[in-house]
Chain A
Amino acid sequence: EVQLVESGGGLVQPGGSLRLSCAASGFTVSNSYMSWVRQAPGKGLEWVSVIYSGGSTYYADSVKGRFIISRDNSKNTVNLQMNSLRVEDTAVYFCARLNSYAFSGWGQGTLVTVSS
């Protein structure tokens, strides 16, 4: 069974950093396209970043230059390093597996709050 479990969320001040992790089971992240999607409180879903099986990475304009997606093959995890955080980055961050260009499996999400 495919399972994704996010962790690492919390409260951080503007300008600070946070590292999210997504632990996968039931499949191998290094063979998959993995993505992060976020949802601000009361708002819609927003695609954030993707890492391809070949290692290529892509970002939404709203986070480009501040966030870095990576994976740890030994732990079967995908990570999101978030730097220079802004109040508008406050959201629940979901990890998702991509299949046929669609988000085929979702974690439960982890809440990131950026506030002073």
Chain B
Amino acid sequence: QTVVTQQPSFSVSPGGTITLTCGLSSGSVSTSFYPSWYQQTPGQSPRTLIYNTNTRSSGVPDRFSGSILGSKAALTITGAQADDEADYYCVLYLGSGIWVFGGGTKLTVL
């Protein structure tokens, strides 16, 4: 069974830069998996940040960017702000109508 891996938690200082990653239990992530990223704060529905590896969703500030770094998909937040504190999820399309979410990264800004 394919597992999508994310760092469980991360901390960043206000104004800092952080890169969250999204990998596969076996194999490398490529653009063919159409990686996308979501932000979720407690009690809220997820918010779509990035789709198709590096395309920002409407209204998402450009300090959020997506890429492939080595064998993983990556979400970089540049100039972190207090309201970036949230859970971040990636999801990969495995083909044949199947999507798998990563376990999520809890980001703390302090």
Contact = CB atoms under 8 A, between A and B. Distances in A.
A103 B34 contact: no
A58 B52 contact: no
Contacts, number: 67
Contact of B103 (A44, A47, A104, A106): A44
A103 B91 contact: yes
Nearest to B35: A102
Contact of B34 (A44, A45, A100): A100
Contacts of A107: 45
B64 interface: no
A60 B100 CA distance: 9
A50 B99 contact: yes
Interface size class of A (residues with CB under 8 A): 20 to 34
A103 B46 contact: yes
Interface in B42-87: 45-48, 51-52, 55, 57, 87
Given A52-B97, A102-B52, 20 more contacts: A35-B99, A37-B101, A44-B87, A44-B104, A45-B101, A45-B104, A47-B91, A47-B98, A47-B99, A58-B97, A101-B99, A102-B34, A102-B36, A102-B48, A102-B91, A103-B38, A103-B46, A103-B91, A104-B48, A105-B48
25 contacts: A35-B99, A37-B101, A44-B87, A44-B89, A44-B104, A45-B38, A45-B40, A45-B89, A45-B101, A45-B104, A47-B91, A47-B98, A47-B100, A56-B97, A60-B98, A61-B1, A100-B55, A101-B52, A102-B36, A102-B48, A102-B51, A102-B52, A103-B48, A104-B48, A106-B46
A1 B99 CA distance: 26
B48 to A, nearest CB: 6
Contacts of B38: 45, 103
B44 to A, nearest CB: 9
A103 to B, nearest CB: 6
Query: Which of A46, A47, A104: most chain B Cβ within 10 A?
Result: A47
Contact of B57 (A37, A57, A104, A109): A104
